[in-house]
Amino acid sequence: MQSSAHPAGAGPVPRLAGHFASLEVQNHAARLGMWLFLSTEVLLFAGLFACYACYRFLFPEAFAEASRSLDLVMGTVNTVVLITSSLTAALAVHYAKEGKNNLVALMFTLTLVMAAAFLVIKGFEYSHKIHDGALPGKYYHYAKIQTAGAPIFYTVYFMATGLHAFHVTIGMGVLLWLTIRAVRQKNFGPNNYVAVELGSMYWHLVDLVWIFLFPLLYLI
């Protein structure tokens, strides 16, 4: 939503679309739409979690052994990085409500840096697995684990973490767009912060999904 002209000191005011009765209704519709979208994302990952649960029940020894082969240090560091990035995303919403656009840009920039760090660390993890031959399905040739079901574990691992990394990349694009708006247009304020709020909500979903993936893949 672009800001329209506003009286001095009143703060940026978003343009009201013609099919909404008021800004309050428009903002409520935007939030409702985001919640509906996030619910579909939850259903997407719920399918993967259900798949994980079924195959873990069928191959408990292989899943336990393969889980111990993952790099717990890298997984833990990535968890800390992502949780911290959620904090900076939340602070961006706080500063947007106060009209502090420079701080909004700073918080989102920090979030983007941590998101990039998360992907780099995940890239190192992937490279180690590829080098060892711990690959999905028929490409599996990891000599250290030959238990039946191990290829299925790595299929679930690459599918779940890869899909999550894809969502991280999309989230980075959204936050980058909001950062550019905060720097160039400086149009976020107490009357116009919903875009920042929605972008932060999406990022919290990315964080939440990883909070489930980390213990399932690395700890259990």
- Ranges of each domain in the chain: 20-219
Residue 126, Cα to own-chain centre: how many angstroms?
18
Tell me the whole-structure pTM to 2 decimals.
Answer: 0.88
Predicted pLDDT at 25: 78
Q: How far apart are CA 17 and CA 75, in angstroms?
A: 44
Give me the mean pLDDT over the 89-109 stretch.
96
- SS3 (DSSP) at 15: coil
pLDDT tens figures, 145-186: 988 899 999 999 999 999 999 999 999 999 999 999 999 988
pLDDT tens figures, 10-40: 456 667 666 766 767 777 888 899 999 999 9
Q: How far apart are CA 160 and CA 139, in angstroms?
A: 17
Neighbours of 166 (CB within 10 A): 10
| Phi, psi values for residue 34, rounded to 5° | -65, -40
- 15-44 core/surface letters (b: 16 or more CB in 10 A; e: else): eeeeeeeebeebbeebeeebeeebeeeeee
Q: How many residues does the chain have?
A: 220
The CATH code belonging to domain 20-219 is 1.20.120.80
Question: Does the pLDDT at position 8 exceed 50?
Answer: no
Q: 134 exposed, middle or buried (CB, 10 Å; 0-12, 13-18, 19+)? A: buried
pLDDT tens figures, 40-86: 999 999 999 999 999 999 999 999 999 999 999 999 999 999 999 99
Token reading at 37: 């979208």
Token reading at 137: 């399905």
Predicted pLDDT at 27: 76
Q: 67 exposed, middle or buried (CB, 10 Å; 0-12, 13-18, 19+)? A: middle
Query: Which comes out higher in pLDDT, residue 200 or 137?
Result: 200
